[in-house]
């Protein structure tokens, strides 16, 4: 073949350096844009949602199944022993239960009398399944299989096992990202249930390895807050609905400034073994600033 | 063309593996498959492949889990590009170089993640984060490399053979 024909066959190619340079600028631009705004969220979320989520759903289920089976095998032996003990306990509890049911009947009647409605139950909730977890080792966030098509919006609260899990930080058409309250970049405004003192609950990777999260800025001048007190989301939080259980105080110490206190709390939710969560579709009422 | 489609597929599969299967591992941390893939594509092919694979992997991660889009894309892209520089001294029979490169890549990646996302927020206890996150992740990745590297290598060689054969057919 003549060299001219050969040259025709060779593709024109840009040097790698220029590709790198162009993509670097592209990345920096995207970083700057997404830092303040969320223009890219919608198109990216849509594309990714339709391409990835069906696969994720399948694999997530298969993975969960396999993990469940292997765990079962390990646990069978201990389960047998536990079964014996539990049977005895059942007998005891049945007796106790009948007594309690009588109490409950009375309580319900009294509640109706006071027209008290349990706030938790009045929220509208949607169940969702966790389909994938953050693959990095730094933050705790995960993706659930419901999105804006199911009526979910950003900042909706997520609960499980009666406690607060986190909030939706990113919503796609058929998936949403949940940032857990134990994530290192998460802060929740909370209060103690008994005394209604406000405090800040901050997720922390370092303390989460010990199974606790931190709280701070608790003003407790009357020394009324004690270890074991319930901490719930506060009335003044702008993202979280009031009165959702966060956890229980484990330690409490005065700060160096002698005005506030801080310490650790045990979250109400077992974050390691979550597979289904509830999303509260009611959102906190916000006031438009003028 | 085939290479592009297949590479896309491999990235896709590794993302699925990484996010759904690995999170069920009994260990606290999971290996970083993206680093293995990006680095291997870098030193097996050349800079161009490395940086494009890295960019795609990073972007995929950013869209799902990143707070700002583009950060991981940038990081992975440079890792792929720099690993591509080693394509000239890479021999498929020798596993020491790939192991070393992937370890260093993962270490760098984790350190940059720590500095940009944790250190600047006043999380100063470096020893804790190193022992709890960075070091286990590197070890995990190292072990995963031993499993996944031969697969990627074989896949890459198969692809190269195929391309060479089709080239010969045309000439």
pLDDT digits (tens, 9 = 90+) for A52-65: 777 777 776 776 78
ipTM: 0.79
Average pLDDT estimate for A261-265: 91
User: A218 is written with which tokens?
Assistant: 């608790």
Average pLDDT estimate for A5-21: 69
Q: Which of B23, B41, B55, B106 has the highest number of chain A CBs within 10 A, making it the mutation to test binding with A?
A: B23
Q: Please choose, from the candidates A261, A234, A262, A260, the residue with its C-alpha nearest in 3D space to the C-alpha of residue A246.
A: A234
- For strand A260-267 and strand A245-254, is the pairing parallel, antiparallel, or unpaired? antiparallel
Cα-based distances in Å from A34 to A24, A269, B62, B71: 15, 31, 11, 10
Average pLDDT estimate for A145-153: 89
By the 8 A CB rule, do B160 and B49 touch? no
pLDDT digits (tens, 9 = 90+) for A68-99: 787 788 788 788 888 888 888 888 888 888 88
Rounded to a whole number of angstroms, the distance from the CA of A224 to the nearest CA of chain B is 31
Ranges of chain B with pLDDT below 70: 23-24, 26-28, 170-171
Sequence-separated (6 or more) residues with CB below 8 Å from residue B143: B31
How many CA atoms within 13 Å lie on the side-chain side of A97?
6
Return the domain boundaries, chain B. 29-157
Q: For residues B9 and B37, what is the distance between their CA atoms, to the nearest angstrom?
A: 12
What's the pLDDT score for residue A34?
82
State the Cα angle at A259 between A253 and A264, rounded to 5°. Answer: 25
When mean pLDDT is compared across A38-52, A176-190, B1-15, the lowest value belongs to A38-52
Q: Per the CB < 8 Å rule, is B48 touching A177? A: no
pTM (2 decimals)?
0.71
Q: If pLDDT is split at 50, 70 and 90, which confidence band does A113 have? A: low
Q: For residues A154 and A283, what is the distance between their CA atoms, to the nearest angstrom?
A: 9
By the 8 A CB rule, do A188 and A232 touch? no
Q: For residues A178 and B59, what is the distance between their CA atoms, to the nearest angstrom?
A: 19
What's the pLDDT score for residue A161?
77
What's the pLDDT score for residue B16?
81
CB-nearest to A20 from B19, B51, B132 is B51
Q: Per the CB < 8 Å rule, is A133 touching B132? A: no
What's the pLDDT score for residue B75?
92
Q: For residues A71 and A82, what is the distance between their CA atoms, to the nearest angstrom?
A: 16
Kindly report the number of other CB atoms within 10 A of residue A72's CB atom.
Answer: 10
CB-nearest to A27 from B63, B73, B171 is B73
Say if A209 is an interface residue toward chain B (CB within 8 Å). Answer: yes
Domains in chain A, CATH or no CATH each = 17-91 (no CATH), 124-281 (2.40.10.340)
What's the pLDDT score for residue B81?
92
What's the pLDDT score for residue A288?
67
Rounded to a whole number of angstroms, the distance from the CA of B116 to the nearest CA of chain A is 12
């Amino acid at each position: 073949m003549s060299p001219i024909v050969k040259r025709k066959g060779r593709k024109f190619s840009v040097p790698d350096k220029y590709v790198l340079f162009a993509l670097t600028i592209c990345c920096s631009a995207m970083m700057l844009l997404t830092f303040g705004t969320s223009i890219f969220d919608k198109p990216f979320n849509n594309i990714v949602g339709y391409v990835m989520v069906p696969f994720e759903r399948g694999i997530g289920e298969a993975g969960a199944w396999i993990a469940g089976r292997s765990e079962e095998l390990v646990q069978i032996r201990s389960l047998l022993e536990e079964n014996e003990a539990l049977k005895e306990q059942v007998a005891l509890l049945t007796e106790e239960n009948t007594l309690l049911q009588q109490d409950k009947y009375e309580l319900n009647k009294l509640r109706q009398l006071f027209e008290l409605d349990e706030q938790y139950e009045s929220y509208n909730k949607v169940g969702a399944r966790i389909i994938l977890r953050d693959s990095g080792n730094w933050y705790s966030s995960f993706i659930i299989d419901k999105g804006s098509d199911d009526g979910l919006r950003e900042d909706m609260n997520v609960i499980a096992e009666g406690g607060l899990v986190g909030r939706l930080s990113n919503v796609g058409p058929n998936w949403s990202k949940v940032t857990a309250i134990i994530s290192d970049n998460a802060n929740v405004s909370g209060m103690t249930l008994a005394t209604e003192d406000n405090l800040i609950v901050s997720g922390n990777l370092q303390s989460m390895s010990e199974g606790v999260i931190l709280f701070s800025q608790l003003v407790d001048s009357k020394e009324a807050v004690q270890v074991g007190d319930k901490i719930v989301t506060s009335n003044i939080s702008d993202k979280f609905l009031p009165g959702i259980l966060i956890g229980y105080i484990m330690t409490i110490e005065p700060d160096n400034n002698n005005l506030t206190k801080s310490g650790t709390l045990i979250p109400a939710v077992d974050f390691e073994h979550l597979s289904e969560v509830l999303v509260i579709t009611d959102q906190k009422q916000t006031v438009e600033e003028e | 063309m085939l290479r592009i489609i297949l590479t896309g597929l491999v990235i896709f599969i590794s993302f699925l593996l990484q996010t759904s299967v690995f999170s069920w591992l009994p260990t606290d941390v999971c290996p970083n498959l993206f680093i293995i893939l990006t680095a291997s594509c870098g030193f097996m092919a050349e800079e161009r492949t490395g940086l494009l694979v890295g960019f795609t992997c990073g972007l995929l991660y950013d869209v799902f889990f990143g707070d700002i889009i583009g950060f991981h894309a940038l990081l992975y892209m440079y890792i792929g590009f720099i690993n591509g520089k080693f394509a000239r001294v890479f021999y498929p029979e020798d596993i020491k170089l790939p192991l070393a490169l992937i370890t260093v890549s993962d270490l760098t990646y984790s350190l940059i993640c720590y500095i940009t996302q944790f250190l600047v927020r006043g999380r100063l206890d470096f020893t804790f984060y190193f022992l709890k996150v960075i070091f286990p992740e590197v070890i995990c990745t190292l072990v995963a490399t031993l499993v996944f590297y031969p697969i990627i290598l074989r896949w890459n060689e198969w692809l190269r053979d195929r391309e060479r054969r089709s080239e010969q057919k045309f000439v």
